[in-house]
Amino acid sequence: MSDTAAPTAQANMLLIDIDGPIATLTMNRPDKRNAMCDELLNEIEAFFAKPPEDVRVVVLTGTAGHYCSGLDLSEHKARNAEGTLRHSRNWHRVMDMIQFSGLPVVSAMFGAVIGGGLELAASTHVRIAEEGTIFQLPEGMRGIFVGGGATVRIGRIMGADRMGEMMLTGRKYNAEQGLDLGLTHYSVSTGEALPLARKLAEGIAKNASLSNYMMIQAISRISDMSRADGLFTESLCAAVSQTSEDAAEGLNAFLEKRRPVFR
């Protein structure tokens, strides 16, 4: 962290630290292994609904040895069918906010990445897991079904067949297995996830904001399109980004053999 870093602001269940263009969000329910409750979800939503203007990249992590152990089941007991439906749809809305806010989000994961915690991680763009990380979807063992977007996001990452087996058996995957399956992009030693997340975030923050935005908004949507529609959308993104001021700066920097300085 730089000497000029803003002081850490502690929300009730979310710690927010802003250092230049990078915001680090730390889920802070250590007594619950950072299980997700409505209040924590609301605080995450509030950040992504109106992020600080100068923030270009977000690092999302947990505290006390865990990323997020999923939905706080003590809250689940209090909901009827309609309440559960509305709660699930709210999760979908907030996970979409994270994925499509326009800010790249890097997850630094360790310990429990379980149930809703894995759904949360799957909505982020770069995922780093330390040894000792556990990926699991145990909902079937509790007599319930996923409701935070797993069938769409996690099912597309690892495939519906593997996800079905994971839920039926309660199977746990470690960091190395998660790397093979695509649940994480990096597998690192204990204590290395957050430093690597910040290093990657610093590099991402130096990209042109428009091209970062295009990558976040377009790639996953193109995967939902027909081949022809996807190719046309790709061309539109290329046309907008390659005629921008940042593209001109990137080309000039390449020709002048220097690092580009984007807006």
From residue 68, how far is each of 1, 59, 85, 255 by CA, in Å? 24, 14, 22, 46
Going residue by residue through the chain (263 aa), what tens digit of pLDDT does each one get? 443 444 344 448 999 999 999 999 999 999 999 999 999 999 999 999 999 999 999 999 999 999 999 988 777 667 889 998 999 999 999 999 999 999 999 999 999 999 999 999 999 999 999 999 999 999 989 899 999 999 999 999 999 999 999 999 999 999 999 999 999 999 999 999 999 999 999 999 999 999 999 999 999 999 999 999 999 999 999 999 999 998 888 888 888 888 888 87
The DSSP string of 120-163 is HHHTSSEEEEETT-EEE-GGGGGT----SSHHHHHHHHH-HHHH
H-helix or E-strand spanning residue 191: none
Q: How far is the C-alpha of 161 from the C-alpha of 201, rounded, in Å? A: 33
* Those residues with Cβ within 8 angstroms of residue 224's Cβ, 6 or more apart along the chain or in another chain: none
Contact 185, 179 (CB under 8 A): yes
Q: Find out whether 142 and 73 touch, Cβ atoms under 8 Å.
A: yes
Domain 9-205 top-level CATH class: alpha beta
Could you tell me the two tokens for 172?
A: 């746990």
- CATH topology for 209-255? Lyase 2-enoyl-coa Hydratase; Chain  A, domain 2 (1.10.12)
Residues labelled as active-site residues: 119, 139
- For the chain, the domains span 9-205, 209-255
